[in-house]
Amino acid sequence: MSKGDLRLVNLTKRFGVFTAVDDISLTIPQGGFFALLGASGCGKTTTLRMVAGLEEPTSGKVLLGGKDISRLRPYKRPVNTVFQSYALFPHLDVFENVAFGLRRRGIGDIRSQVERMLALVQLEGFGKRRPAQLSGGQQQRVALARALINHPQVLLLDEPLGALDLKLRRQMQIELKRIQTEVGLTFVHVTHDQEEAMTMADTVAVMNAGRIEQLGAPAEIYEFPSTPFVANFLGQSNLLAGEVAGRSGDEVLISAYGSRFSVPAGRCRVVDGNVYLGVRPEKLHLAPNTDSVPSGHQWVTGVISDSSYVGVSTQYLVRTPWGTEVSAFSSNAGVHAQVPRGAHVVAYWRPDHAFLLSRQAGAGDATQPLLETVP
Amino acid sequence: MKLGRWLSDHWVMGVGVLVLAYLFLPIAVVVGLSFNEPSSRLSYDFNKFTLDNWTNPCGPGDMCDAVVRSVQIGFIATVAATVLGTLMAFALVRHRFRGRAATNLLIFLPMATPEVVMGSSLLALFVAGGVPLGFWTVVIAHVMFCVSFVVVTVKARLSGFDSRLEEAAMDLYADEFHTFRKVTLPLVFPGIVAAALLAFSLSFDDFIITNFNSGTTVTFPMYVWGAAQRGIPPQVNVIGTAMFLIALLLVLGTSVRRRRAA
Amino acid sequence: MSVVGHIGTAVGPHETPPPPPRKGRRLLPYLLLLPGGLWLTIFFAVPAVQLAATSLYDPSGSLQQGYAMTWEFGNYADALSAYWPHFLRSLLYAGIATLLCLLLGYPLAYAIAQKANRFKNLMLVCVIAPFFTSFLVRTLAWKTILSDNGWLVGVLRDIGILGSDGRLLATSAAVVLGLTYNFLPFMVLPLYASLDRLDGRLLEAANDLYASPARAFAKVTLPLSMPGVVAGTLLTFIPAAGDYINAELLGTPNQYMIGNVIDSAFLVRLDYPQAAALSFLLMAIILAMVFVYVKRSGTDEVL
């Protein structure tokens, strides 16, 4: 563990009877880009505010480089925040907003530092403007400059791009990433946008109901989610309800709806009891009949119940013989023709693309039947 | 047809302008009479143009004393009411505490009580307590009825205040004192100034409550009241016009400054 | 301007809940409230209670001999039976003046909020500025305007609205006009504040959904401006009902309102128990009306 790591130890925050953050422990390495991903109300912003010192933990600790900072007032912490909707001081111009932290700490040579920082965020010459005279993207960059100029050990970003439109958000994502690599400090980024988390962060923590469901590199989490929540929060998954029926060498055997399936043991979160067999829709391919399924694949039969053309791909819903639906994305590479509604098809996948998750007894299939545009 | 369309688009504005004219009618009279040389003491009609009233505003003996006294009372009452009211507004908007509803009621009631009731009951208190009536009883009364108006005015400004700005300041190394000094106060200040202006104008203009609690102290409204029985010196209109102009300049000045700041 | 917007919004119904308290700051709100709260308690609440007590004193006492507390509820009956016409007149005059203020103030507030565009600030200044000229000076100016040999009476006599010896001054109409004039800004400002928040697109939506301008007004604008209407009518009615300056300067003893009676009972007749009973009755009547009105209009947040 290096000197500047940020560690949360059993961090808990309760508001009355409501537990917003429930016993979180994690380590964010110095210089990393860490994303806290979750739906609104999952506790991610509360976690961030406890790191910033704007919220006092009910129990647990925040350690920065081995030093306990959990009880320090926000202005005593080497941590700065880019607030959601920026919280720029409306009565101060851009220059004074950026200089605010330096002035409070009594640091000299403000002018040249502020100018350098405005150049870094590409806002040279905007010093005399008021925040209200800036566009959303410009305000966001002022907020970033205002935090970065203090060279904090950790920079906290609270949904900083949420207020921007899609195109500007893309642009700012790239810019944020560039600045992070350039200045090399630890970024902790809170967002509900899974794509934003995946494209920007080295490590993503998926939060749900105050707890961390899964933590890891974006690809790792996406390819091998550890809970049904993660499997459907980060992208979509087809989850078939079944039970483990036994084991054959490296394969775990599952029985579901009278059929037998197998998953390599390395892709199983559980190896007995009630399980979900998960397959991502883009890993599910369609064939006209079982004869055309390539060998080594597993399959379910069904009828196309709905389809939706989204340009790069077509999304199909396939109704299975037992009545639930699975979704399949077929890329529009020009290889396959569109399959009409009502057609009988076979949906097949490679066993090593599947994953096995624990299932509560009685829980049915969990597929999002929505034909929504994948961003 | 065109006329009909124009009328249906603009009649609201037309009515609005007429109402404004109604508001300005007596002001025009006041301004006019400030240049009048009345034919007799009890005449309110325009007689003859003169600049004498303006060149000699303090002509009628005690009037200027009364104006000065009103300004003094207004100033002291404004400062006190603004401080007390602002503190209360902060408590109400920023804190959760027991007795909030009772506090709100205590602030609301003075605004819902006719002045004659407040003035008379306060007089009864002073009489019962053996407090000699005069300058300071008037100040006490004025602070009392101004506080509520200050509270609601500052409260309005504060409840629109984004508390994340304070968090941002704290995050940027400003301790509680500097956060208040550099962020909270500058942003709430326009509301406080508005409250103070309101308090001053309420105090300067008050007659009913003052009349009950002033003893022999004479404020400007009381001077006017007394003079109304014997005949109003035209200089009263000079003071009225001057107040109007000062207020106009003040309000226009702050709004121009605000626009520049925005 | 600042003065304006604030009064208006202040009385409006929107109030954000306070943030949760921070540890070790529990005492702070009480400290902040203490000076102002004490002031209001000592100089408003205590006198009000004392007023209630005074109103039950034995009326045969005097300031020199002192008063005895005899729980003399008869004071109220006496006050009412002697002065019920004044009460009635006060409520009537104040009611008519409030209605007139609403009729005059609504178009003005609407024009400023929705039609004035870049003249908005100027028009707002025009609403407040006249009120920095002293209340009494303004009312005396009305005395000049309405006087028997003034131009207004002359014109009205010439066109036959007034008889050849008709008067404006010293009539009920003059008193109501004075009340209307003096409290009009208290109506306009809250109305402006709530109309200013009105989203113009709502009216476009109403028009798009086949509402005529009149219907759009009745179904969209008016309901949305109700908080302003409630606040404005309260701010107008309350001071108007207790006022006695307008009746004194523009009317005659035949137009005297309850304020005149209380004033003279306290300052001229020195009949404190009766004066207190009258004051307390006035306060009670007004508060009762305010509560009923506020409950009816469904905007309790005003309180």
Select the residue of A52, A130, A132 nearest B171 (Cβ to Cβ): A52
Pick the CATH number of A236-365 from 3.30.56.10, 2.40.160.40, 3.40.50.300, 2.40.50.100: 2.40.50.100
Q: What is the pLDDT of residue A253?
A: 92
Q: What is the pLDDT of residue C197?
A: 78
Tell me which residues of chain A have a C-beta less than 8 Å from any C-beta of chain C: 15, 56
CA gap B50, B234 in Å, rounded:
10
Residues above pLDDT 90, as percent of chain C: 23
Q: A170-174, A234-238, C85-89: which has the minimum mean pLDDT?
A: A170-174
Q: How far apart are the first and last CA of chain B?
A: 42
Which of the four pLDDT bands, split at 50, 70 and 90, describes residue C299? low
Structure tokens at C63: 């300031």
Residue whose pair of structure tokens reads 């749900």 in the numeric block: A208
Nearest-by-CA chain B residue for A107: B173
> Between A and C, how many residue pairs show a Cβ–Cβ distance under 8 A?
3
**Is pLDDT at B200 greater than 70 in this prediction?**
yes
- Do residue B170 and residue A89 have CB atoms under 8 angstroms apart? no
Tell me which residues of chain B have a C-beta less than 8 Å from any C-beta of chain A: 162, 164-165, 167-175, 178, 182-183, 186-187, 261-262
> Between B and C, how many residue pairs show a Cβ–Cβ distance under 8 A?
317
What total of structural domains would you count in chain C? 1
* C12-37 residue pLDDT tens: 333 333 444 454 567 888 999 999 99
- Do residue B171 and residue A79 have CB atoms under 8 angstroms apart? yes
CA gap A157, A82 in Å, rounded:
5
Higher pLDDT pick, B252 / C138:
C138
Which of the four pLDDT bands, split at 50, 70 and 90, describes residue A216? very high
Query: In the predicted model, what is the mean pLDDT of residues C266-288?
Result: 87
* A84-123 residue pLDDT tens: 888 999 999 999 999 999 999 888 889 999 999 898 888 8
* A319-330 residue pLDDT tens: 998 888 899 998
C24 to chain A, closest Cα gap in Å: 13
Phi, psi of A139 (to 5 degrees): -60, -40
The answer to whether the CB of A158 falls within 8 A of the CB of A140 is no
Domain containing residue B72: CATH number: 1.10.3720.10
CA gap B139, A218 in Å, rounded:
69
Q: What is the pLDDT of residue C27?
A: 85
Question: What distances in angstroms separate CA A110 from CA A92, A127, A229, one per listed residue?
Answer: 15, 13, 48
- Do residue B112 and residue C263 have CB atoms under 8 angstroms apart? no
- Do residue B171 and residue A75 have CB atoms under 8 angstroms apart? yes
Query: In the predicted model, what is the mean pLDDT of residues C28-51?
Result: 91
Query: In the predicted model, what is the mean pLDDT of residues B252-257?
Result: 72
Structure tokens at C69: 């507390």
CATH superfamily of A6-223: P-loop containing nucleotide triphosphate hydrolases (3.40.50.300)
A34 to chain C, closest Cα gap in Å: 29
Residues above pLDDT 90, as percent of chain A: 51
* Backbone CA torsion sign across B6, B11, B13, B18: positive
Q: What is the pLDDT of residue A374?
A: 37
* Backbone CA torsion sign across B206, B207, B212, B215: positive
Which of the four pLDDT bands, split at 50, 70 and 90, describes residue B136? very high
**Is pLDDT at C122 greater than 70 in this prediction?**
yes
* C189-248 residue pLDDT tens: 889 888 887 777 777 787 777 777 788 888 888 888 888 898 899 889 999 998 999 998
- Please work out, in degrees rounded to the nearest 5, the angle formed at the alpha carbon of residue C32 by the alpha carbons of C30 and C34: 65
SS3 B117: helix
Q: What integer best gives the mean pLDDT of chain C? A: 81
The answer to whether the CB of C222 falls within 8 A of the CB of C194 is no
Query: In the predicted model, what is the mean pLDDT of residues C92-104?
Result: 95
Query: In the predicted model, what is the mean pLDDT of residues B190-211?
Result: 90
A167 to chain C, closest Cα gap in Å: 27
Q: What is the pLDDT of residue C298?
A: 63
**Is pLDDT at C40 greater than 70 in this prediction?**
yes
**Is pLDDT at B261 greater than 70 in this prediction?**
no
The count of other CB atoms within 10 Å of the CB of residue A115 is: 15
- Please work out, in degrees rounded to the nearest 5, the angle formed at the alpha carbon of residue A248 by the alpha carbons of A245 and A254: 30
Query: In the predicted model, what is the mean pLDDT of residues A28-49?
Result: 90
Q: What is the pLDDT of residue C214?
A: 80
Question: Which positions in chain C touch B251 (Cβ < 8 Å)?
Answer: 1, 3, 125, 128-129
Interface test with C, best of B43, B115, B120 (most C CBs within 10 A): B120
- Do residue B212 and residue C48 have CB atoms under 8 angstroms apart? no
Residue whose pair of structure tokens reads 């039950």 in the numeric block: C56
Q: What is the pLDDT of residue B233?
A: 84
Q: What is the pLDDT of residue B258?
A: 63
**Is pLDDT at A353 greater than 60 in this prediction?**
yes
* B215 Rama sector, left if φ>0, alpha if ψ -120 to 50, beta otherwise: left
In a domain, C17, yes or no: no
Could you report the predicted ipTM of this complex, rounded to two decimals?
Answer: 0.85
Q: What is the pLDDT of residue A214?
A: 94
Query: In the predicted model, what is the mean pLDDT of residues A148-163?
Result: 87
- Do residue C20 and residue A56 have CB atoms under 8 angstroms apart? no
Neighbouring chains to C with at least 3 Cβ pairs closer than 8 Å: A, B
Question: Which positions in chain B touch A152 (Cβ < 8 Å)?
Answer: none
Question: For A106, what's the count of Cα atoms within 13 Å in the CB-facing half-sphere?
Answer: 1
Q: What is the pLDDT of residue C68?
A: 74
Q: What is the pLDDT of residue C64?
A: 67
Q: What is the pLDDT of residue B44?
A: 61
In a domain, B248, yes or no: no
The type of residue at C167 is R
Domain containing residue C237: CATH number: 1.10.3720.10
- Do residue A15 and residue C23 have CB atoms under 8 angstroms apart? no
- Do residue C23 and residue A56 have CB atoms under 8 angstroms apart? yes
- Do residue B140 and residue C3 have CB atoms under 8 angstroms apart? no
Q: Residue A291 is inside which H or E element, if any?
A: none
Interface test with A, best of B165, B167, B172 (most A CBs within 10 A): B172
**Of residues A304, A288, A308, the one with CA closest to residue A372:** A308
Question: What distances in angstroms separate CA B25 from CA B30, B249, C151, C152, C181, one per listed residue?
Answer: 9, 20, 13, 12, 10
B181 to chain C, closest Cα gap in Å: 17
Question: Which positions in chain C touch A13 (Cβ < 8 Å)?
Answer: none
**Is pLDDT at A373 greater than 60 in this prediction?**
no
CA gap C150, C169 in Å, rounded:
10
Select the residue of A81, A84, A91 nearest B171 (Cβ to Cβ): A81
**Is pLDDT at C6 greater than 60 in this prediction?**
no
Select the residue of B165, B167, B172 nearest A146 (Cβ to Cβ): B172
Nearest-by-CA chain C residue for B44: C144
Q: Quick one: C275 exposed, middle or buried, by C-beta within 10 A (0-12, 13-18, 19+)?
A: buried
What total of structural domains would you count in chain B? 1
Domain that holds residue C116: 88-302
In a domain, B47, yes or no: no
Domain that holds residue B87: 62-233
**Is pLDDT at C284 greater than 50 in this prediction?**
yes
Q: What is the pLDDT of residue B43?
A: 61
B181 to chain A, closest Cα gap in Å: 12
Q: Specify which of A97-106, C67-76, C166-175 reaches the highest per-range mean pLDDT.
A: A97-106
In a domain, B5, yes or no: no
Q: What is the pLDDT of residue C105?
A: 93
Question: Which positions in chain C touch B22 (Cβ < 8 Å)?
Answer: 104, 181
Q: What is the pLDDT of residue B40?
A: 67
The type of residue at B147 is V
**Is pLDDT at A48 greater than 80 in this prediction?**
yes
Question: For A119, what's the count of Cα atoms within 13 Å in the CB-facing half-sphere?
Answer: 6
B151 to chain A, closest Cα gap in Å: 23
Which of the four pLDDT bands, split at 50, 70 and 90, describes residue C273? confident
Query: In the predicted model, what is the mean pLDDT of residues B230-259?
Result: 81
Cβ within 8 Å of C, B 166-185: none
Q: What is the pLDDT of residue C13?
A: 36
